[in-house]
Structure 1
Amino acid sequence: MNGSEWLQAHQGDIDQIIAGETEQARLAQRLLPAYPVPEQMRFVSSDRFDYEAGTVDDETRVDIERFEEKVSIPKLQIDDPNPARALVAVRHAAQKLARKHDERVFRKGIADEIVEADGIADEILKAGGKLQFHRLVDVKAVNGSLGEGLIPSVASALAVLDDEGYRTGYAIVASNSIWTELHRRGDGSSTIPIDAVKALIDDGPVYRSSVLENGGALLLSLAEGRIDRVVAEAPRLAFITQGKDMRRFDLYERFVPRLRETMSAVLLRAKPRDEA
């Protein structure tokens, strides 16, 4: 059996696996709306709000990007009437693709942009301009705990969101290290910090994501499509080529995230303990 025939024979199982991993392993799937566009589209407008001009930028174009994971399946597994072994490779590729998706959305699409903007913020203010991103919010240890330190930092971040009119739909995406600190009691404390943090954000969700650099956490105000994902092609498996002993496939998708309202996101960043 060649790769194309195998793909057709097991399309239902493959689609189910991809859909399941997309739903379970991809955090952006749970938090951010998808804006579908025709497959042939190569770019869309940024639709980014300019806080100084008070207008939406519908002229700047952002390219729809392609993300892929290679899948190699031995010929013997392709020929096996039971596809279970071959489908394991598809499942792992779907998990890796889900991570790439979240990395593009949360780290490159939000956190990295905030860090870059913070680096030039002083120059903008000195020139009398208006910032388009919030400044970084530092997290300092309290009672020997960065988790305890997150409580006043989240309160500060909520205040700057409120100043720009973002008062609903709060959610936090925390790096691995911040997630751990949120579940560690400070000296003399009877509760864990995440309880207080969730109360501050009106019991909104707090998620862990390994795509963020350790020490970082995003506080987002999610509503009205402030951050979305333009999707031209949802994840799918395509047969590419076959050798004597191996069949090769691509698991790919095409999308681009849009941080349309940049002031709806705040990046909190913990200082190293020797600086705190």
Structure 2
Amino acid sequence: MNTQLIDRQSVKVSNIGRLLLDMGKLTPEDTERILKKQKEDGTRFGDAAKQLGLITEADLQLVLSQQFDYAYLPAENSNYSRDLVAAYSPFSSEVEGFRGVRSQLLFRWFNEGFKAVSIVGANSGDGVSYASANLAVVFSQLGKKTLLIDGNMRNPRQHKIFNLKQPFGLSDILADRTPGSDALFNIPDLPNLTVLGAGTIPPNPQELIGRSNFAQLIKYASSIFDVIIVDTPALSSGSDGQMLSCITRGAVLVSRLNHSSMSDTINLKKQIESSGASVIGALVNSY
């Protein structure tokens, strides 16, 4: 029995060590020192490495996240906007709030058979794009195959947040300027997450949303993805958010602490419900 336990522990140690070596955090010489200390003190490989000052707690959390299939971004990764707190600071209290909303959506919406939800706000600056991006990340971290659609074709932000390179996006698909496969971008550092940018800023965003092919796009995407998050423009910019919510059939209201007024939020709820969509939950940004 003891031999089996030691053998299993050795497998875990070799896995952690190999990952740290592959990441360039350790050298073979470092590994020998760690194994020697581990044998002398009876500590775990990661703890021994930290005690020797060879890795940091952040390094250990990163390698453990790979072992447990929990993707997030190390601080030195500069490929994306720091607005992605769910990816860069996954253990912060702010991200716990996003996980709380994720739980609401799972139990009250996605587990009921729905696949898509719109994220809506009353005014520009409420943080709808910020909330949409981070909700998409936390769903992907749960292992859900997630699609984030930038439906804000007036003032899009997702291409900046995720550093998208494609010239095409949602508007181009709806205008039949490109096939959907050319506009989708799989985020390499965040498995399970795909982003569809807004694309070329069109002169007629409401008319594009009103076309039948947007509803068809959502239906088709629902056959591929577990979760579809739709970023929308502020209600003050037009009725795009209402139209998108009507198509996804569900919405999450976003407001910003010390910025959004209660009357605007109440009016937003009424407008969304009048479109025939269900208000599933609410999120207050404090950034």
Normalising by structure 1, what TM-score?
0.26
> Whose helix fraction is larger, Structure 1's or Structure 2's?
2
Identify which of structures 1 and 2 has the higher relative contact order when contacts are C-alpha pairs closer than 8 Å and 6+ apart.
Answer: 1
> Whose strand fraction is larger, Structure 1's or Structure 2's?
1
